[in-house]
Amino acid sequence: MTERPVDLSSLPSYGARRRLFSARKFALMASVVAGLGAAVYGFSPQQGPIDVFTSAAHAQVNNEVRKVERPIGFADIVERVKPSVISVKINIADKSSKDDSANKDDDSPFQPGSPMERFFRRFGGPDGLPPGLRGGPRGGRGPVTGQGSGFFISPDGYAVTNNHVVDGADKVEVTMDDGKTFTAKVIGTDPRTDLALIKVEGSKDFPFAKLSDSKPRIGDWVLAVGNPFGLGGTVTAGIVSASGRDIGNGPYDDFIQIDAPVNKGNSGGPAFDTNGEVMGVNTAIYSPSGGSVGIAFSIPASTVKNVIAQLKDKGSVSRGWIGVQIQPVTSDIADSLGMKKAEGALVAEPQSNGPAAKAGIQSGDVITGVNGEPVKDAKELARTIGGLAPGAAVKLNVLQKGQDKVINLTLGQLPNTIEAKADTDKEDKGSLSKGTGVPKLGLTVAPANSVAGAGREGVVVTEVDPKSAAAERGFKEGDVILEVAGKSVGTAGEVREAIDAARTDNKNSVLMRVKSGGSSRFVAVPLAKG
């Protein structure tokens, strides 16, 4: 027997059910239409339909919506500041014929071994070039061209860019946002902060940007405007992700870190805040690949103001100088000196006839303040002193032999070059004697005057136990220990006596002044128990 599908329409009840479903469906559809109508027109039993698009109630809702903060956009700011930003193109003539002995595999414009050269080799693109610079043919032959960014800071044509963008340029050309092109002249450069001032002739009404007077906060919005990859005016947005960054460029590092995408060609361009003021000048990126990975560094506006004012006035920058070799105060060093906090800058050695030496500052002193303002660390001291003019009178707060003092001195001028010192590591150490052991330190020492090339003061390290605390602190054969716990030493016995005195005073570590490679430093070595 074959079964067939049942025809529901043939059943007596089907027609009634269908009629009921249709009625319900109609009622549901009618209610939806009525709801839409009410939504569009409104309804009042007394007054009939109301057009909400023109009603007073709708006007009130619109006013309330306008009061609600809209999503943040940057179009208004960009429209106002973008005309002040310029593209900077440089040309360096072919100089290979003048120096064929140069390394042809190196297109870097920086001196070999210089701070900027080391930084861009570490953080720049695959060829080690700074953002924006492009060499000629591989091997350094042929002219070199480069592209960077900049911005006007005055209507008469003064503009800021990076030193590494225009360094060594034979010709500098700038292109404005509207496409107009001008030739620019380099007024002055400052390699220590990587800033340059250029001047464009041809108008007295250039659009310009204002350098901010306020310090940006971490989390503030930032807009980077520049010329990445030679594409012309490009805007990227992000936030200030850190401040006070030290990237190993020099003693004046105080960079703002931003996460707005910055690429090759953005160098010298401005980083704007939401007031349309320049918070910093983009100078470097951290990039294993050569492209943006969200970490870029900007020179703070406060530094730019100081440097640019001097470049405009005299074409160079003069910095204050006190003539000391300084180092950070670590927790071990602070403990050795009886300090409650590891702060300030430890004087490893004052330079002969320098302002500090003449004022009475000694090795082992800790500079904790300048003109009443606390100094956090050695970097901050260098920046503070470097920001003052030569000849200025300053008051230094100094911890000297456990006593707080105020020392007055007049700043000298920071020399452009550093005098080379004799490197004791390169002198003959073949006659190092076996010396006498200092088991508590893991060192063997001998009087310095008994070892050729070690000098007349202190004790020379002749052997270091590789498993000792001294080895962990970087001691090596040939180092000369000048002081232990603030006392001059000349024999192994005097070293042991100074250590025993430190242990009697319940010190956890002993502070030593060590000469290595022609320079001095302090090292805190933990004392073994027992």
Least Cα distance to 407 among 365, 372, 360, 374 occurs for 360
Q: Which of the residues 84, 87, 108, 164 is marked catalytic?
A: 164
Measured between alpha carbons, how far is 302 from 447 in angstroms, rounded to an integer?
50
Tokens of 144: 């070199």
User: DSSP for 327-363?
Assistant: EE--HHHHHHHT-SS--SEEEEEEPTTSHHHHHT--T
- Backbone angles phi and psi of 75, in degrees to 5: -60, -40
* CA–CA gap between residue 142 and residue 132 (Å, rounded): 18
Q: How far apart are CA 74 and CA 236, in angstroms?
A: 10
Sign of CA dihedral 477, 480, 484, 489: positive
Among 107, 167, 190, 194, which one carries the catalytic annotation?
194
CB-hemisphere CA count at 13 Å for 8?
5
Of the candidates 193, 152, 142, 186, which has an alpha carbon nearest to the alpha carbon of residue 167? Answer: 186
Instruction: For residues 409 and 454, give the distance between their C-alpha atoms in angstroms, rounded to a whole number.
Output: 33
Q: How far does Cα 258 stand from its chain's mean position?
A: 10
> Does the annotation mark 267 as catalytic?
yes
C-alpha 30: how far from chain center: 68
Question: Amino acid identity of 252?
Answer: Y
| Residue 271, strand partner residues | 224, 280
Bridge partners (DSSP) listed for residue 399: 366, 404
Which residue of the set 267, 298, 363, 509 is catalytic?
267
CA distance 176 to 302: 25
**Alpha-carbon gap, residue 377 to 244, rounded angstroms:** 12
Q: Which two tokens stand for residue 55?
A: 């009603």
| Encoded amino acid at 243, one letter | S
> C-alpha 316: how far from its chain's center?
22
Cβ neighbors of 153 (< 8 A, separation 6 or more) are: 159, 160, 208, 209, 210, 211, 308
- 3-state class (DSSP) for residue 405: strand
Q: Are 467 and 442 in contact (CB under 8 A)?
A: yes
Residue pair 346/522 in contact (Cβ under 8 Å)? The answer is yes
Name the nearest CA neighbour of 296 among 149, 405, 109: 149
H helical segments located in 85-237: 115-123, 163-166
Q: Distance from CA of residue 167 to its chain's centroid?
A: 20
Q: What is the largest CA-CA distance in the chain?
A: 126
Residue positions annotated with a catalytic role: 164, 194, 267
